[in-house]
Each structure stands twice: as C-alpha cells, then as structure tokens.
Amino acid sequence: MRTVGVEEELLLVAPETGEPRAMSAAVLARAARDEDDGDVFEKELHTQMLEFATHPQSDLGALRAEIVRCREEAARHAGAIGCAVAALATSPLPVTPSIALDRRYRWMVREYGITTRDLVLGCHVHVAVGSDEEGVAVVDRIRPWLSVLAALSSNSPFWQGRDTGYCSYRNRVWQRWPSAGPTEVFGSAERYHRRVADMVATGVILDEAMAYFDARLSRRYPTVEIRVADVCLHADTAVLVAALARGLVETAAREWRAGREPAEHSVSLLRLAAWRAARSGLTSELLHPVTMRRMPAEAVVRGLLEHVGDALADCGDLGAARDIADGLLRRGTGSRVQRAVLEHTGSLRDVVAACVRHTQG
C-alpha cells in the first residue's frame, strides 16, 4: 500500500483581534525544545505562517490522528506566546506580510517583488511512488483531476478585508508565481528532468524546488507531491484530499502499467478548469475532467470517487472517503463556513475566531 503524508501551513493570529501575527520564529523556538515536535514544524516564507509535516502513513485513521495532533501541538506552542493558529488559506483581515530572514527568501523578494507579499497557505500531499518513471507517468495522468481537489479544499474567500467572489482566492494568487500551475504531458522522467533543468537555466527560478507545478516529483522524498489544495479548515477534509490523492496516484500507475495513454487536455483547458474550481468551489458547476464541459459540482465529485474507486477500495479507504465527501457536499467547504459566519455576525474578526475553533476540532 502506498504511503501518504500531508504538509499543512497554518496562520498565526492574535486571539483578541484575529489579525495575523509575525511570530513563527518564537513558535518554532518553543517547538524545537520539545523532543516530540523538534522536527515537525518548519518556517516558511512569511513569519505569520507555521508549517508542519506528518510522517508517511498507510492508514487513513493514523494520518487523521497525526494531523489532529500536529494542529493541537501548533496551537499549544502558539498559545504559550499569546498566539492562536487558524487553518485559513488567506487572512480574512488585512495583513502586511513579513518575510523570514533567509538568504533564499531575500533572493525571492529581489526577483519577484510584490508577489512575495501575497500571504497564502496551502496543503501539500505526498504519495509514494516506486521510481521517477512511475512518478512522471502519474503526474501526466492525474492532471485533469487536480481541479476537483482544489474545489474540495476551497477555503479562501476573503482577501485584505474583502470578499473576493472566489471560493479559493489562494488558488488565483498562487498563479502569480512564474512556474506555478498545470503542466503539459512530459512522457518520461528524462523529459521531466530536462524541462526542470531548462527552467533553472533561465535564471527565473533559483533551483528545482521552485518548479511549483500543480503536481511534481518531490526533491526530498520518493513521492509525487500534489500542491493544488488550500489548507483545509477541517482535518477530515485534509484526510479526504489525501485519500483521493493516493487514489489518483494508484489509479494512474495502474493505467500506465496497462499501457493507457494520458488524456491530452491542453494546459489552456486545465487552467480554465482550475479557474472554475477556484471561483465556485462546490457551490455550482465544475469542468468534468474527462469531457472538460460544465457539470454540477456534486456529479464531478462523484465522478472522481468512481474514477479512483478500485484504488480506494483496495486501500480500505472507499467508505471513509464517501462519508467525508457526503458531509462536505452537505456542509460546504471552508469558504462556505467562513461566509456563513460573516453573514451571521457581520465581523471578519468573528470569522477568524470561528476558524480558530474549527482548526482545533
């Protein structure tokens, strides 16, 4: 059974006001003194962010337990210095991001300017693969389905104190990076690595870690890294995204071994599918990954579950994935929860406070 791991980026906020706080260094210093958490949390580009990574897990229940534990530990360490953590993919309240003091980050500020001032928080899923060749075959075959994961995780309706009209505005902001987004079919590991090397050789990106494809070979682990999701408000949604990601990887690997060619959807169509997912989340229509035509979001989600059904069943994940997806379709994504709080209270501070509570279960 393939292992799966999750990286989540959490927002540090002031409990009284909901405003982002640039306190990641202090939180990381506390976590480093805890032998159980010393290697769990990492710094990110912005000091209002805190990232954690789970261990690779085969069992979804174990993955969920670790996500919950990491969120609880993040809240504990942040609380000790007067902060709270919220699983928000953008800050509902206005924020001026602070950049971490790091040579790499300073280079990014010089090169990319105002783009580095966009504070966005994502969820990355790593799924084990047996080789780079298998990994690239997977990347080629999962491309059309990634917009559905983006819709399921949508959790960023607000930007600088205003409703954007999008369910995942993080998704749109992230596209400002020069290497971000969907990719064409590579066809082989050799062509994948050559493409990344050519990108680095331009000098526009610093190294292969800055090839911010929607799905890519991990530089550090023997995994495919899927990078389209917002950080999810609820731990169960993150588990669903991880389960579906593993299902997509396993299904794609089976198709590759069976000699099935990847869909030839153009990058232009994939960008439209990503835009549609970011705009409406699960609230109306998505582009179906097979036909690239509009369908109700629920039908597209059911189509994804059917597409990966055999792989989910073989992992023992099918029942859990269906249950979480059913709940998400009824309740709505994090973006819907945030908008409901604002409609009820009229206060973005209350939105942040509610999301702090949701983050901690």
The per-residue pLDDT for range 61-77, each reduced to its tens digit, is 999 999 999 999 999 99
What does the pLDDT look like over 283-338, one tens digit per residue?
999 999 999 999 999 999 999 999 999 999 999 999 999 999 999 999 999 999 99
What does the pLDDT look like over 103-140, one tens digit per residue?
999 999 999 999 999 999 999 999 999 999 999 999 99
- CA atoms of 254 and 279, how far apart (whole Å): 32
Count: domains in the chain = 1
What does the pLDDT look like over 254-282, one tens digit per residue?
999 999 999 999 999 999 999 999 999 99
Helix (H, G, I), strand (E, B) or coil at 87: coil
Q: Which two tokens stand for residue 188?
A: 């082989």
Closest CA to 304 of 325, 323, 320: 325
Q: Which two tokens stand for residue 221?
A: 């682990």
Q: How is 214-274 classified by DSSP, letter by letter?
A: SEEE-SSSSEEEEEEEEPPSSHHHHHHHHHHHHHHHHHHHHHHHTTPPPP---HHHHHHHH
Give the pairing type, strands 223-230 and 215-217. Answer: antiparallel
> Looking at the whole model, is its pTM more than 0.85?
yes
35 has pLDDT over 70: no
CA-based torsion, 274, 278, 280, 282: positive or negative: positive
Closest CA to 239 of 121, 311, 157, 325: 325
Domain containing residue 9: CATH number:
3.30.590.20
Please give the residue range of the domain that contains residue 228: 4-359
